[in-house]
Amino acid sequence: MGRVTFQGSGSIDTGSVSGGGGGGGGGRIALGGGAGLILTIVALLFGVNPGEILGTEGPQQGTSSDAAQIQQQLDSCTYEMANENTICRIKATTVSVDTVWSDLWPDYQPPQTVIFADAVRTGCGAASSATGPFYCPADSTAYFDPSFFTQLRRMGGSDGPLAQEYVVAHEYGHHVQNLTGALAKGQRMGSQGPRSGSVRVELQADCLAGVWAHHADDGPDALLAPISDEQIATVIQTAKAIGDDTIQGPGSNPEGWTHGSAAQRTRWFTVGYQSGDPDRCDTFATDDL
Ligand SMILES: [Zn+2]
């Protein structure tokens, strides 16, 4: 039972998740938009230098047959399958996160999600799996290559279902930030250093993921079964594995941080999880991160 998080049965009713890469297309691409348009993606793991990862040439695209195969799997997903299959788990999680944010915030507009293999074109440019999961504000779309979760386990993260769902909720946290303006504010405040805009944005996204987890099992009709302390421990394990100091290793210099330390990521997820209150996630209001 430890691995089961979704309760309920039947097909997962959302049109917001699609298979991408190759000819599979992505979410709607909002081009233009003038000076306010932000083209920088926000990734789960690394500070992203668009010159390095989002080259104009772009990486090799996933093939359109990959996209078609992913789409076929997505079309067949049920809540039962979401407890076994990573692609279906991502899809089911997007429904849960959208439900929680729509309840908390009537103005919430759901993002799109694209699941891809190897590489994908986005409203922010081309990206490869090496980027890890990310959110592109220009097309309001979260992107996931399911193979990332294997890499995450190698990095010391958990492959438990709630830990994977946390990754989805973190990227959706960036979407919430896109809607509130926190993402744009953070991107104006610098991309590196212990009190940089980037670190504040990332820690806030962890906190917003915690807010989701707090509400995800609310009420008898919740999509998630009651969350156990054991499952929360798997999230903490993953949050620690993707802390800047964990990734950079001994001698890690905070001036190079982009996402916050293991302790900070754990702390802000926990603030959101324990309070369930997005107002508690104001990582811009304090230097005590
Ligand atoms: Zn992030």
pLDDT of 220 reads: 86
Q: Report the length, in residues, of the chain.
A: 289
Residue 51 in this model has a pLDDT that exceeds 80: no
- Cβ atoms of 128 and 143 within 8 Å: the answer is no
Query: What's the pTM value of the predicted model, to 2 decimals?
Result: 0.90
Residue 195 in this model has a pLDDT that exceeds 80: yes
pLDDT of 60 reads: 53
> Can you state the angle between helices 262-275 and 197-216, rounded to 10 degrees?
40
Which two structure tokens, joined as six digits, stand for 76? 């067949």
CA–centroid distance, 33 to ligand 1, in Å, is 23
CA–centroid distance, 174 to ligand 1, in Å, is 7
CA–centroid distance, 65 to ligand 1, in Å, is 29
pLDDT bucket at 10, cuts 50 / 70 / 90: very high
CA–centroid distance, 10 to ligand 1, in Å, is 31
pLDDT bucket at 46, cuts 50 / 70 / 90: low
* pLDDT tens-place string over residues 235-275: 999 999 999 999 999 999 999 999 999 999 999 999 999 99
Neighbours of ion ligand 1 (CB under 5 A): 42, 44, 202, 205
Identify the CA nearest to 243 among candidates 201, 202, 187, 284.
Answer: 202
* pLDDT tens-place string over residues 11-34: 998 889 999 875 334 444 444 333
In order of 4, 44, 116, 213, the CA distances from 134 in angstroms are 25, 6, 12, 19
